[in-house]
């Protein structure tokens, strides 16, 4: 990563500001935008965190009250076990449109992506939909069986296969609406993000160069349990922090909750949980002003610093919040 990009993006991650984002001018063709609001959450990890039903209920209850145009979760939600039907019952309490992104942990235990789609009643492994003057694209970043290198960055891996890329190119060509993309793994994170992210980004950037306007406006991802924005070739890549925790690993093992909870949920001790669930509401105005309003919390038990985690071990600081952000969508 070039130094100027690192400095700019680190500052944005720490401050939650819109430095480096596309500039808005009065000449922006606002007729291409319309008002839309949606709720977004990521990485609930019901199969790890002990109070996932309560966390998800808090999100759904607020969404029921505020009534956004739709809600979407960015993966690592729950495996298709019968015991997890409670999570789906809570999710389905929202009466508006609901969308899913598949995460790598949703197949834990040997499940297939097709089983996850069926259990969630999702539209597909990857798909697109139109709403209120926008075209939304949902990617499946878990196509590791198509990775020719067979050498994933982690034992889970993350890859987008050629067939999906061909579909993506065709899908983008067919729409004249501004596009917002959702995926689980980051397309901008070279630590544990999509392994062929450069190829996917090229597809998105090519759609912009082929169009008479900036077709692809921004990308949302989860997976990394962090809070930052990167801008690559004028496209913002927005990371949505986990609803539940940041994974630290065995070297930082501790007991943040009671011993009883630790015994029933043994993986929690390798995390730093957030006291309250995190999510965000995205509100886009008719003039292209995107306002992201995120939740804030605090760590349960010891903080990463108290556990001895180096501040930049994960490049971006580990924080128990989703920053408020202002992003200007532009057509040119």
pLDDT in tens, 159-210: 999 999 999 999 999 999 999 999 999 999 888 899 999 999 999 999 999 9
**Residue among 190, 186, 183, 191 at smallest CA distance from 164:** 183
Of the pLDDT bands very low, low, confident and very high (cuts 50, 70, 90), residue 29 is: very low
Q: Contact at 8 Å (CB) between 325 and 238?
A: yes
- For residue 20, pLDDT over 50 is answered with no
- For residue 22, pLDDT over 50 is answered with no
Radius of gyration in angstroms for the set of CA atoms belonging to the chain, rounded to a whole number: 19
pLDDT at 112: 95
Distance between CA atoms of residues 192 and 187, nearest Å: 10
Of the pLDDT bands very low, low, confident and very high (cuts 50, 70, 90), residue 152 is: low
Of the pLDDT bands very low, low, confident and very high (cuts 50, 70, 90), residue 268 is: very high
Q: What's the chain's average pLDDT? A: 90
**Residue among 198, 217, 222, 235 at smallest CA distance from 284:** 217
- For residue 8, pLDDT over 50 is answered with no
Structure token pair of residue 277: 């669930």
pTM of the model: 0.90
Fold of 36-328: Purple Acid Phosphatase; chain A, domain 2 (3.60.21)
What residue segments make up the domains of the chain, in order of their start? Answer: 36-328
């Amino acid at each position: 990563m070039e130094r100027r990009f690192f400095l700019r993006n680190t500052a944005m991650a720490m401050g939650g500001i819109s430095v480096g984002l596309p500039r808005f001018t009065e000449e922006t063709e606002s007729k291409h935008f319309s008002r839309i609001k949606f709720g977004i959450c990521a990485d609930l990890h019901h199969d790890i965190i002990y109070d996932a039903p309560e966390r998800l209920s808090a999100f759904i209850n607020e969404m029921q009250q505020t009534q956004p145009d739709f809600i979407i979760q960015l993966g690592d939600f729950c495996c298709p076990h019968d015991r997890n039907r409670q999570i789906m019952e809570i999710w389905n309490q929202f009466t508006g449109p609901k969308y899913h992104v598949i995460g790598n942990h949703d197949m834990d235990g040997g499940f297939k992506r097709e089983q996850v789609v069926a259990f969630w009643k999702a539209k597909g492994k990857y798909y697109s939909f139109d709403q209120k003057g926008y075209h939304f694209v949902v990617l499946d970043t878990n196509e590791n069986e198509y990775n020719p290198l067979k050498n994933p960055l982690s034992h889970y891996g993350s890859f987008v296969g050629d067939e999906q890329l061909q579909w993506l190119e065709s899908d983008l060509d067919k729409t004249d609406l501004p596009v917002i993309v959702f995926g689980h793994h980051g397309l901008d994170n070279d630590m544990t993000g999509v392994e062929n992210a450069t190829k996917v980004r090229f597809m998105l950037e090519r759609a912009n160069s082929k169009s008479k306007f900036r077709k692809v406006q921004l990308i949302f991802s989860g997976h990394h349990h962090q809070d930052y924005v990167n801008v690559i070739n004028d496209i913002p890549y927005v990371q949505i922090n986990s609803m539940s925790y940041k994974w630290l690993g065995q070297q930082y093992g501790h007991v943040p909750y009671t011993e009883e909870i630790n015994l029933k949920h043994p993986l929690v001790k390798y995390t730093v949980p957030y006291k309250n669930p995190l999510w965000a509401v995205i509100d886009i105005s008719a003039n292209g002003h995107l306002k992201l309003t995120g939740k804030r919390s605090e760590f349960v038990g010891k903080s990463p610093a108290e556990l001895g985690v180096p501040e930049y071990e994960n490049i971006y600081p580990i924080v128990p919040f989703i920053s408020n952000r202002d992003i200007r969508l532009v057509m040119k």
